[in-house]
Structure 1
Amino acid sequence: MRFTDTVTVITGAGAGMGRATALRLAAEGGKIMCLDLSAESAAETAELVRAAGGAAESFRCDVRDRAAIEAARDYAIKSFGAVHNLVNSAGALTMQGLADTDDAGWNLVMDVNVKGVFLMLQAFVPEIERAGGGSIVNITSIEAEVVVASGENTQPHYACSKGAVKTMTRTLAHDLGRKNIRINAIAPGLIATGFGGSNPGSERYQQYVHEHSALRRAGQADEIAGAIAFLLSKDASYVTGAQLPVDGGWLIY
């Protein structure tokens, strides 16, 4: 019960890694504020938490919109009285390469993955500081470290966005340490959530996994949630500014 008497705000909580993280933290006693672009999906996650005996609220939030984030922050404080932890899990990807990445694709990926993280930090860091300190986890990707081409070409805008969040995490560790706030990142490898339109059940996907994972399988959302729980918890009390790969061994090659 590492998260008893704590409140964690999670973006992208309506599905995948965000939902798994909400369920994991709640199972360890935490109260959860579920944010997602889909109000219905966020509400579904909150209901799953409550059905399992936890405490959760939901709020529709577009992380590209400062006003929406501030409204979500105010609702979290109204609902729970404080915020101690933040997980920036919301993400976007378009399967476009250099030649066909248009302004809409570039702006979507950069605004959600980079600007969205920055705006969430601006809104919630003062609340975490006011609560006496806490912990933040950003979701990056192994694409912040290596080139990934799952099709005929890479997605350079996505890789750039994740590299930016890695650097943001390291930079802000310096500033937030004096506020008793730790900030770290998780870099997932292949996780079977269907993100980006992938099909974990396809033969092509399974072959790709076999070629790139030392464990010869894709990861599961709850395995990412376990790593996030570690970094948020006091078990990681002397860890800040780090990026933890959770990639089945991809980066050993």
Structure 2
Amino acid sequence: MTSKVAFVTGAARGIGAATASRLAADGFTVVIADLDEAACKTAVDAIIAAGGKAIAVGCNVADEASVDAAFERVVAELGSVDVLVNNAGVLRDNLLFKMSVEDWDTVMSVHLRGAFLCSRAAQRYMVKQKSGKIVNTSSVSALGSRGQANYSAAKMGIQGFTRTLAIELGPYGINVNAVAPGFIVTDMTDATAARVGMDPAEFRKAAAEVTPLRRVGNPADIANVVSFLASEDSSFVTGQTIYVDGGRKL
């Protein structure tokens, strides 16, 4: 395969699947990486049916051996890693006095440890080729969100991680940026609706009413911005967090 390779974590569904689809449409060979390789089949099949190139790779982003093995496999099969999208994420929402250590550690492991392990693995190849793009997924929740102390802390940590990697990897021609989604219609936001005792449709309506653009976002809204950050059009953009939230940060 001669096209550039984009490795997208948490890509079996939601924002990850939409991002993988958009990058495939942009001409990338896409690695659909998720905890369960079998769960990636739908996303892979959709890309191939549309004329794109994609493979499924099972990867636990919080496990060092799993991450390193996944990247080694991808480079062996496809030749390079040109774009990494750190999108894998989980929720373990609760108010602080109810939050368990396991809830805290799980969110930190997937979001922060996962971004660290995948970025460290990807840069080994990107530094050698003196080019690459890393796009991390933060969130408007980084600015504070009731019942999400773990998630908010992890997502703000992603922003500091992004700035630091941009400084360290810039001399090697590697751009590192982040996107911070607002309310996006996904299984995760539906889970948040359930947590607060609301019907998902009503939850979305309430969010739209306090958003300047008067609508909630869709996974494609995030994928479009990631597409820009993965392209050569963003070659002088690095260390940035772009909020994709319809104008509503809180």
Classify the TM-score, shorter chain.
over 0.9
Q: Do the aligned residues in 1 keep the contact of 2:183 with 2:207 (CA within 8 Å)?
A: no
1:179 pairs with 2:172 = yes
Which one-letter code corresponds to 1:23 in the other structure? S
Residue deviations 1:142-199 (CA, integer Å, cap 9, x gap): 122x2233xxxx3111100001110000011110001110000000000001215145
Offset, 1:41: 2.1
Residues of 2 paired with 1:49 and 1:204: CA distance? 31
Q: Which moved more, 1:161-170 or 1:40-49?
A: 40-49
Unpaired stretches in structure 1, ≥5 consecutive residues: none
RMSD: 1.5
Residues of 2 paired with 1:133 and 1:201: CA distance? 42
2:71 corresponds in structure 1 to: 73
1:148 pairs with 2:145 = yes
Residues of 2 paired with 1:140 and 1:207: CA distance? 22
Higher normalized helix content (fraction of residues): 2
TM-score in terms of structure 1 length: 0.92
Moved over 6 A (4+): none
Residues of 2 paired with 1:112 and 1:141: CA distance? 14
Task: Determine helix, strand or coil for the equivalent of 2:133.
Answer: strand
User: Would you say how many aligned residue pairs link Structure 1 and Structure 2?
Assistant: 243
Offset, 1:49: 1.1
Task: Determine helix, strand or coil for the equivalent of 2:97.
Answer: coil
Which one-letter code corresponds to 2:98 in the other structure? D
2:196 corresponds in structure 1 to: none
Query: How does 1:107-118 map onto structure 2 within 5 Å?
Result: 107-118=105-116
Query: How does 1:164-243 map onto structure 2 within 5 Å?
Result: 164-195=157-188, 197-199=191-193, 201-211=200-210, 213-243=211-241
Residue deviations 1:217-236 (CA, integer Å, cap 9, x gap): 11000110000000111111
Residue deviations 1:44-85 (CA, integer Å, cap 9, x gap): 211211111111111111101011001110111122111111
1:52 corresponds in structure 2 to: 50
Q: 1:47 to 1:204 in 2, by over 3 A?
A: closer
TM-score in terms of structure 2 length: 0.93
Q: Do the aligned residues in 2 keep the contact of 1:209 with 1:217 (CA within 8 Å)?
A: yes
Residues of 2 paired with 1:203 and 1:17: CA distance? 21
Residues of 1 paired with 2:208 and 2:110: CA distance? 26
Identity %: 36
Task: Determine helix, strand or coil for the equivalent of 1:99.
Answer: helix
Residues of 1 paired with 2:129 and 2:51: CA distance? 25
1:16 corresponds in structure 2 to: 14
Q: Do the aligned residues in 1 keep the contact of 2:80 with 2:125 (CA within 8 Å)?
A: yes
Which one-letter code corresponds to 1:177 in the other structure? G
Q: Do the aligned residues in 1 keep the contact of 2:207 with 2:216 (CA within 8 Å)?
A: no
Residues of 2 paired with 1:208 and 1:99: CA distance? 26
1:248 corresponds in structure 2 to: 246
Residue deviations 1:77-136 (CA, integer Å, cap 9, x gap): 122111111000001111211101101101110000101100111111111222331111
